[in-house]
A and B are shown apart, each in its own frame.
Chain A
């Protein structure tokens, strides 16, 4: 579904991405991990078509070739930082239907938004203004908007950052479900253990390069030493690997 081949990117001087390559298909839940400044967010923005990067193909077509509305129906992007705006929660999520709408939202658009708000447990916030809700709720609103685009690919940049434990689990379950339903979830995150619990595949990045790519088998104490420069121990608890910081 997504093919990245030898992707280089720089914001000016100094390359941020230095030859990234990987492929990902429907049904996968891919976590992108790595230290700050590794290029994770930049990679995600390239995949989302927000930065104009050569070397990213989606459904065998360069991402830069898509018309904005076509791309919006194919993939949705949840940025790390969100500004609230003065709209209601409902209208903010309804914005996700923009690429489908004519001039006004149809009954179906309204129904889609309605059911997504319920699914994320924020139905009671619908008519509140987005600048009057909490940071965690706002994060869910942003995810709801992305889901309202009914995309095939869901790209999220540190979606669990502002969330409490329960909400973190909800968001990760959602990303997993999205993949199980035939979509492709790609999530940039910092919490390695949370990633291990939910994602099926891990890409570790450092200095704009992919250091490791694969399932649970790529996790090793040496990997953490080289990628993060920290010593860890990996133990299994109830069959699940857990990364312990030493």
Chain B
């Protein structure tokens, strides 16, 4: 029997390894593909020796930061979704259902109407003060969750009530955004809409460094708390019986999930569905054990987002589609398929 369990655990490692290899393959393909094709051999050479000229520019300065951003954003959203679904015991929970995306949209819109503004440049819209927009988007994103958590702390809200409070905060921010948009002029309005399309190309090495640090710290925390998450899925009473301070861990976990998501949303905008599809597909393949679900959701999220972004770059090449459109477009039917599969298993 102990042997069986050992091989069961090893199988989970193999799933992780295959995901990692798949991510590596997509990473290399994504570096190589695009309007300016670079053979794989050359990509490897540029990666290791720096290369020169156009190759260096395209691989290291244009594609690499964007792909790294895809990995970080995808991994953050995968982990954040997995953790929230565990602590709130709700399969639909993601930071976006806690009002993070609508809060960010409101923050960004507010910054734009207050003068972080826009410049028209050869038909494209550029934000004239992107840092203000990023800061406001982050504050908007995290504020919804903070309000909910303060309420939860004061009134010891149940997981269900936390989810419902998230829905309420989302609606509030949608209304506030509509209000801001109502008073915006045409150019401001198009800057807001443009911002709302998630786009990984916004990330440079500076943003990637911040996302990498926040992701690594939060990931490490959740990985240490993996047994607490397992306990949470069985209900608060069992969690407490096995020694988990479940109220505290739920608040910390919810905050940290919202935090890493807010960081990524502030930098690259709203990219939907990764936080739902990554954890749920892994639950289906590898089971609900958070020891594996946390790293696997990170890998799956990264793989999904980098793949989607590669498709977004290629599909109407040389133009770029916003990756958020692709993830939602492919995400919605995939998610429905997963739901049907899971129901079949009950």
CB pair A79–B238 under 8 Å, yes or no, is yes
Count residues on chain B whose CB falls below 8 Å from chain A CBs: 29
- A216 interface residue per 8 A CB criterion: no
A108-125: CB near B (< 8 Å → 1, else 0) gives: 001100100110000100
Binds A, one of B30-38, B142-150, B282-290, B328-336: B282-290
CB pair B289–A110 under 8 Å, yes or no, is no
CB pair A82–B235 under 8 Å, yes or no, is yes
Seen from chain B, the residues whose Cβ lies within 8 Å of a Cβ on chain A are 1-2, 4-5, 8, 89, 224, 227-228, 230-231, 233-238, 240-245, 283, 287-289, 345-346
Chain B residue at minimal CB-CB distance from A149? B242
> Which residues 63-122 of A sit at the B interface, judged by CB distance below 8 A?
68-73, 76-79, 81-88, 90-92, 95-96, 98-99, 101, 103, 110-111, 114, 117-118
Give the interface size class of chain A: 35 or more
Residues of A within 8 A of B230 (CB): 85, 87, 91, 95
CB pair A111–B242 under 8 Å, yes or no, is no
The 8 tightest CB contacts between A and B, nearest first, are A86-B288, A72-B243, A85-B233, A99-B243, A77-B241, A69-B243, A79-B237, A68-B243
Residues of A within 8 A of B234 (CB): 82-85, 92, 95
Chain A residue at minimal CB-CB distance from B242? A98
CB pair A99–B242 under 8 Å, yes or no, is yes
CA distance A37 to B141 in the complex (A): 45
8 examples of A-B residue contacts, CB within 8 angstroms: A50-B240, A86-B289, A87-B287, A95-B231, A98-B228, A114-B2, A131-B346, A142-B238
CA distance A133 to B135 in the complex (A): 49
Given A85-B288, A101-B227, CB of A127 within 8 Å of CB of B4: yes
Instruction: Give, as a whole number of angstroms, the nearest-CB distance from A127 to chain B.
Output: 6
CB pair A50–B241 under 8 Å, yes or no, is yes
Given contacts A68-B243, A68-B244, 17 further A-B pairs with CB under 8 A are: A48-B240, A70-B243, A82-B234, A83-B89, A83-B233, A83-B234, A86-B288, A87-B288, A90-B8, A95-B242, A98-B228, A98-B243, A98-B244, A126-B1, A126-B4, A132-B345, A145-B242
Given A88-B287, A95-B234, A98-B231, CB of A48 within 8 Å of CB of B241: yes
Chain A residue at minimal CB-CB distance from B346? A131
Chain A residue at minimal CB-CB distance from B240? A50
CB pair B238–A82 under 8 Å, yes or no, is yes
- A146 interface residue per 8 A CB criterion: yes
Seen from chain A, the residues whose Cβ lies within 8 Å of a Cβ on chain B are 45, 48-50, 68-73, 76-79, 81-88, 90-92, 95-96, 98-99, 101, 103, 110-111, 114, 117-118, 123, 126-127, 129, 131-132, 142, 145-146, 149
CA distance A112 to B235 in the complex (A): 23
Residues of B within 8 A of A70 (CB): 243
CB pair A68–B287 under 8 Å, yes or no, is no
Residues of A within 8 A of B244 (CB): 68, 98
CA distance A86 to B280 in the complex (A): 11
Residues of B within 8 A of A92 (CB): 234
CA distance A218 to B235 in the complex (A): 37
